[in-house]
Chain A
């Protein structure tokens, strides 16, 4: 559990994200079955569940990669069930991927700069000439990106090719790119998969830091239960596309349904 130094989620206002009775069906497979959940502003919510439980599908629905077969999704109080990924990103939802999806041939800096693309305005001509407002804009974006580089402590690899980096660092660069979009809601799909203990600890520190420093709301899929317990305010458990638990980490860990489905500890 996190220490109470972080502000409690604001309960009074509307939740940042409301998922209401959402179902997703791929042919005969019911990937999500009438899942409802809310994510409050400033929360860190962990989504757990066995393989095939529908965790990534849930993230994909929220980020607009899939459209729900039934149900509604509201973000900041407005219905946006059928938006496309581009529009979702413009609304302030950014994500990272289970398998790192960086532009491998580009430098770390350029990769992160792509996260700013949606914030860039200006005409093709000015951009081509790199003059006047175009230059000022580029400098402002670069400064923002440098703040993220500073925050995630990746100064030393700023100019390195993204493809040449070890996996743990690639994950960190991907997080940096997501942060560059200044998201209100950040979706992390297994941010710590395949990392060693030290890399995991670093990543935990950064996730808590992002939440604390930028006030970003975070939903993450994670399998490492000690990580889940350490950093999340709330845990949502899925199994066969259904939500089977939703509550404080210690409550969910003690939930017998969750233990049966996922944790695999025999209960007395």
Chain B
């Protein structure tokens, strides 16, 4: 239960300003120097913004759109809005005008507080369509000197007005903060939905604060933590880590200088608490390995040797197996020579807790960071749950689960296999969309839309989007994305599409990775002329077959999924391409479309032959189309029964 003196973010901020007045709350690198603001300054800045908004006629329940890169002023703007009983609506800073227009209009935002000229330009266009947007307030005045629109105001001017407003009503701010209640909506987070218009999930102060408290106590976070705020403010994850948990625990949020300097800034700050999606983990690893490859041979050899050692040790640890004596003896030496310096170089030597989430992370990648001694864990959550549902516990980390539910969160799996949850963090509903709310929020339980199950240790395992999960003709559960992710962890497989719903077995359509398979072929002196040619080499089929077999073998560990092994596969003659509408711009497979377009190939996989003729339309970048003809081979892969022998 929440104490009524700290049941909203403004009350928490004032509480922190008293409790931790001189402690740094937020930092921003500006003009090459980390500029720090203490909790007292944080609260004071937000107070002036709030009073300025009040001077402009802000009333309880009004909404403020907040747009820009992570900047202290924008976090203050959210707090200021909430202090007046308003609702913060953070928007993705790279949204185009049309997307912003929809949200500003739908949320009925009267105020917008934005970072700079780029966002002002967009908001001014939006305002032409949404006259309900009365004021656009900006933080960085660069380039805005000659803008004359009457709705424009700099943050400085706004705070100046706030100062004047407070002279006549010194009690106003405290009075408005005191009127706030835990059930007030604090934030409307618009989900970036892949289908249809975005939906605005309303989250109350209680939702966010209770969820933050629960995670803070589980991870034993305190005011000494340092966190980087570099992921979009509109994304609930950043809101949870950089705003909610920071308020609850009192720790410091650090805003990088620009999107390009994040890695360097990371090194300067040395966060103790860090979050990144798999894509970022991968980028960091790549930038390191490139530099390792550039070093002298002896160093390179040393790094390789100790990284391999660390990986072996980590595998044993993850599998709860004993570590070989030699490895155990050598590990401390590796820490001294390689792991420590490397961690330091990545800016990760102080990390106590790090998360990966958002999509499946490759086992190699996950093992790499863990083997360096960085405590990376997986978590599961979504906007509708205030970001957090499950987190892996220290010392109980697995490659392919998201851990047990957080304290206070109840999770169950519906008979159809969908994950349902209920928690204090469960949202209040979608703003102005009761229909969608009714579909998602049934009797207090949120239907996540994800398919998953609990393993024997009580860890939740997410396998796919529920609507994509089907069953084989024999009744076995078939989760295409789960298989596809496993396939794509192979460096040789770029894209994978699995079919099997209502079929006797699982079949896969695969894209080879031209770069890595091309390299592989070169090293073997295997000549090829084109992508299609390379993909149809028997040697390449053999290479990929081994990868498929590896996936099949790994499926044995999954009781629920071991029946859905891949029996046949083919290597597509062309790469799946967003221009051909086969995948989305964010590289998500469009199953329906592929099912239609490649129907003859799919039928052939379930037929008797060992190859199939294809004719395909391809669209060139200039819009011309052409027809490609090729013979595509069909490959077989052995599947395994429980004992490990081929079935």
Q: Residues of A with Cβ closer than 8 Å to B? A: 5-7, 142-143, 146-147, 149-151, 153, 155-156, 158, 209, 212-213
Contact = CB atoms under 8 A, between A and B. Distances in A.
A5 B31 CA distance: 28
Contact of B258 (A142, A153, A212): A153
Chain B contact residues: helix, strand, loop or mixed: loop
Contact of A158 (B32, B143, B145, B146): B32
A155 B145 contact: no
B258 A209 contact: no
B338 to A, nearest CB: 25
Given A155-B260, A155-B261, A156-B261, A146 B32 contact: yes
Contacts of A143: 31
B32 A155 contact: yes
B257 interface: yes
A112 B143 CA distance: 22
B524 to A, nearest CB: 35
B32 A213 contact: no
B142 interface: yes
Interface residues of B, number: 13
Contact of A212 (B32, B33, B146, B264): B146
B24 to A, nearest CB: 21
Contacts of B145: 212-213
B142 A213 contact: yes
Nearest to B256: A155
Contact of A147 (B31, B143, B258, B260): B31
Given A151-B142, A209-B143, A212-B146, A156 B260 contact: yes
The 7 closest A-B CB pairs, nearest first, are A156-B260, A146-B31, A146-B32, A5-B146, A156-B261, A155-B257, A155-B258
B149 to A, nearest CB: 12
Most A-side CB within 10 Å, residue of B30, B31, B146: B31
B263 to A, nearest CB: 9
Chain A contact residues: helix, strand, loop or mixed: helix
Nearest to B262: A156
Interface of B: 30-33, 142-143, 145-146, 257-258, 260-261, 264
Contacts of B264: 156
Nearest to A6: B146
Contacts, number: 33
Contacts of A7: 146
B238 to A, nearest CB: 21
B258 A156 contact: yes
A162 B258 CA distance: 20
B432 to A, nearest CB: 38
Given A155-B32, A155-B257, A212-B145, 15 more contacts: A6-B146, A146-B31, A146-B33, A147-B31, A149-B32, A150-B30, A151-B142, A155-B258, A155-B261, A156-B261, A156-B264, A158-B32, A209-B142, A212-B146, A213-B142
B29 to A, nearest CB: 8
A212 B559 CA distance: 67
A182 B31 CA distance: 18
Nearest to A153: B258
A142 B31 CA distance: 9
B581 to A, nearest CB: 26
Contacts of B258: 153, 155-156
Nearest to B263: A156
A155 B145 CA distance: 23
A50 to B, nearest CB: 33
A156 B264 CA distance: 8
27 contacts: A5-B146, A6-B146, A7-B146, A143-B31, A146-B31, A146-B32, A146-B33, A147-B31, A150-B31, A151-B142, A153-B258, A155-B257, A155-B258, A155-B260, A155-B261, A156-B258, A156-B260, A156-B261, A158-B32, A209-B142, A209-B143, A212-B143, A212-B145, A212-B146, A213-B142, A213-B143, A213-B145
B35 to A, nearest CB: 12
A6 B30 CA distance: 28
Nearest to A150: B31
B611 to A, nearest CB: 44
A151 B117 CA distance: 12
Most A-side CB within 10 Å, residue of B30, B32, B33, B142: B32
A158 B31 CA distance: 11
Nearest to A159: B264
B41 to A, nearest CB: 21
A186 B143 CA distance: 19
Contacts of B257: 155
A155 B32 CA distance: 8
Contacts of B143: 209, 212-213
Contacts of A5: 146
